Homo-oligomer: A and B are copies of this chain.
Amino acid sequence: MCAKHSCGGHHSKDHPCNCKMRGFLQACLLLLVARSEGYGYTLLQDLNNFGLMQQSDIGAVYRNLRSLEDAGHIVSEWQDSESGPEKRVYRITSAGRHRLLQWKEALLENRRQIDSFLTLLENSVSQ
């Protein structure tokens, strides 16, 4: 388990085949914030805990949160902690909820494509 970033991931050297979904990180962050308000550092762990991503980059998390805020899908607020540095806590906006439904459609399409691939592969192997 990754001790460096406490992200729960294994940071194993990339498999020869990986097929990262571009933008999926942003969609996941939006989803997690929609469930309940949160901040970067723990959202990183949530990604793992909910089976959304295997390993994530903390830098990418912060950048995507900012990007979501710039787009008006989430809003942030500084919250000082009783112990440790301040946290920038995010919560979703109504625009963000709308966006989430668009992500849902996009991911359904992705799944259709994957299913097409897998069934085609099975048919090829069995022939």
Majority DSSP secondary structure for residues of A touching B: helix
Within 8 A of B (CB), among A64-114: 99-100, 102-114
Within 8 A of B (CB), among A44-61: 50-54
Whether B20 and A120, one on each chain, are in contact in the complex, defined by CB atoms closer than 8 angstroms, is no
Count A interface residues, CB 8 Å.
Answer: 42
A32 CB, nearest partner CB in chain B, Å: 8
Please measure, in the bound complex, the distance between the C-alpha atom of A20 and the C-alpha atom of B124, giving whole angstroms.
Answer: 25
Within 8 A of B (CB), among A24-48: 24, 27-28, 31, 34-35
Whether B116 and A104, one on each chain, are in contact in the complex, defined by CB atoms closer than 8 angstroms, is no
Whether A114 and B120, one on each chain, are in contact in the complex, defined by CB atoms closer than 8 angstroms, is no
Contacts of A34 in B (CB 8 A): 124
A35 CB, nearest partner CB in chain B, Å: 5
The verdict on A19 contacting B15 (CB below 8 Å), with A104-B118, A114-B111 known, is: no
A interface list, Cβ under 8 A from B: 15-24, 27-28, 31, 34-35, 50-54, 99-100, 102-118, 120-121, 124
Whether A20 and B17, one on each chain, are in contact in the complex, defined by CB atoms closer than 8 angstroms, is no
Whether B17 and A103, one on each chain, are in contact in the complex, defined by CB atoms closer than 8 angstroms, is yes
Contacts of A100 in B (CB 8 A): 121
